[in-house]
């Protein structure tokens, strides 16, 4: 008797070989490299990443003031707590180093192929496999690989684009996007235009303001900036440093450290109740956030009127914005609550007709 698809000569409890491809070696890719080999027998894993090093968004984003707006002791792998975080909200370089340390600890690199750019993936119905097309960026060669399972670990903070402002590319001064930051850029004693007040713009302003001659900050929208809630309850302020004694206790007393992690997570999770529209907690938070911003901006009440949204907190992602409101009221910061009409060789004309000559333009305008 012959069989078109004969049974394989395998033990009943022997798992079949499984090929997995993951795109991206950031938080998701590193976790895949740790957990899949631990949990799945007979797995073959390959992770492709276009960058020269692991880290994903924390490798790519190096703009002035880059950091995370989630508490450090929450923004980490649950099984790989770091008792040595320096601040309540960690900076980008510290997070990148954490990822590299974890990758070394778990021997992640053996699964990763750096400088390999994912081009496309096609599903082969007959073979029941993915065909993945990849470019080896070191020699510019294109090849294909196959997998039973394909994971997309590229995140959303990856593909940035220039804003479509008329005349932007005609500008003769320094021009950069926060996601394409020039590490050699020196803003000291320069007049800098900062466009946008999302997570990136809010972090850039307090970092460049002290040394810039002047910052012209353009923001056409409205947003809530408030650390009230878990940041003030367990953070001891907006963003404080952990003392040497605290870090030592976290490192030597695992129970104490776990209790602190649970405390931060508990308060943070509870704060999500403020996003329930019309709830008493949201109404209370709304009043507190409004009062906080009004107090911080009392030196320039016109900014408060321009910045405060009509929608309640939680409709747009909240950010603690350490130092942002304080920087806004400094004498060398000009807030423009309008959009960009066009850019000239020497400056920017806003939608109200105002013109400001600048030495540099920073576009903190987000991703595609």
Q: What is the pLDDT of residue 1?
A: 46
- 143, two tokens: 């090849």
Lowest average pLDDT, out of 127-136, 237-246, 250-259, 325-334, goes to: 237-246
Give the residue carrying structure tokens 């576009």: 363
In the prediction, which pLDDT does 228 show?
54
The whole-number pLDDT of residue 315 equals 84
Using CA atoms, how far residue 334 sits from 215, 248, 331, in Å, is 6, 43, 8
Is the per-residue pLDDT at 241 higher than 80? Answer: yes
Per-residue pLDDT, averaged over 183-211, amounts to 95
The pLDDT of residue 234: 57
* Fold equal for 18-152 and 168-226+275-363: yes
Q: How many whole angstroms separate alpha carbon 204 and alpha carbon 324?
A: 9
Domain boundary assignment for the chain: 18-152, 168-226+275-363
Main-chain phi, psi angles of 28, to 5 degrees:
-70, -45
pLDDT at 314: 82
Do 225 and 325 touch, CB atoms closer than 8 A?
yes
Q: What secondary structure, in 3-state letters, does 315-361 show?
A: CCCCECCCCHHHHHCCCCEEEECCCEEEECCCEEEECCCCEEECCEE
The architecture (CATH level 2) of 18-152 comes to 3-Layer(bba) Sandwich (3.50)
Lowest mean pLDDT, pick from 110-114, 244-248, 320-324: 320-324
In the predicted model, what is the mean pLDDT of the chain? 92
SS3 132: strand
Rounded to 10 deg, the angle between the 244-252 and 254-271 helix axes is 110
pLDDT per residue as tens digits for the range 311-330: 988 888 888 888 999 999 99
For the domain bounded by 168-226+275-363, which CATH number is listed?
A: 3.50.50.60
In a 3-state reduction of DSSP, which class is residue 347? strand
| Per-residue pLDDT reduced to its tens digit, 128-179 | 999 999 999 999 999 999 999 999 999 887 788 899 999 999 999 999 999 9
272: confidence class by pLDDT, cuts 50, 70, 90: confident
Among all chains, which residue has been given the structure tokens 């649970």? 262
Q: What's the whole-model pTM score?
A: 0.90
**Cα separation, 237 vs 167, whole angstroms:** 42
Between 318 and 86, the higher pLDDT residue? 86
Residue 184 half-sphere exposure toward CB, CA atoms < 13 A:
1
């Amino acid at each position: 008797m012959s069989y078109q698809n004969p049974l394989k000569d395998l033990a009943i409890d022997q798992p079949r070989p499984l090929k997995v491809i993951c795109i991206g070696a950031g938080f998701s890719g590193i976790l895949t490299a740790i957990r899949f080999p631990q949990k799945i027998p007979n797995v073959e894993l390959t992770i492709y990443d276009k960058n020269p090093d692991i880290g994903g968004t924390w490798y790519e984003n190096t703009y002035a003031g880059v950091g995370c707006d989630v508490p450090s002791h929450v923004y980490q792998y649950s099984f790989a707590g770091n008792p040595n975080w320096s601040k309540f909200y960690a900076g980008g370089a510290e997070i990148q180093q954490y990822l590299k340390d974890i990758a070394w600890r778990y021997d992640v690199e053996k699964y990763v192929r750096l400088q390999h750019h994912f081009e496309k993936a096609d599903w082969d119905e007959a073979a029941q496999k993915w065909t993945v097309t990849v470019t080896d960026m070191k020699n510019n060669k294109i090849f294909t690989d196959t997998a039973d399972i394909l994971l997309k670990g590229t995140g959303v903070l990856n593909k940035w684009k220039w804003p479509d402002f008329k005349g932007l590319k005609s500008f003769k001064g320094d021009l950069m996007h926060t996601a394409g930051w020039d590490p050699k850029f020196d803003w000291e004693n320069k007049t800098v235009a900062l466009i946008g007040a999302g997570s990136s713009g809010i972090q850039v302003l307090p970092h460049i303001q002290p040394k810039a001659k002047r910052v012209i900050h353009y923001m056409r929208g409205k947003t809530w900036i408030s650390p009230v809630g878990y940041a003030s309850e367990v953070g001891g302020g907006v963003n404080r440093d952990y003392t040497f004694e605290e870090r030592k206790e976290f490192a030597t007393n695992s129970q104490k450290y776990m209790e602190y992690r649970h405390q931060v997570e508990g308060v943070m999770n509870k704060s999500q109740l403020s996003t329930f529209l019309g709830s008493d907690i949201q109404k209370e938070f709304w009043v507190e956030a409004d009062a906080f911003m009004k107090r911080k901006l009392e030196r320039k009440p016109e900014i408060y009127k321009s910045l405060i949204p009509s929608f309640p907190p939680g409709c747009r992602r909240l950010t603690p914005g350490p130092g942002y409101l304080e920087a806004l009221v400094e004498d060398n910061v000009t807030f423009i609550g309008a959009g960009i009409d066009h850019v000239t060789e020497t400056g920017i004309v806003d939608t109200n007709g105002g013109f400001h000559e600048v030495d540099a333009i920073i576009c903190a305008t987000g991703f595609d």
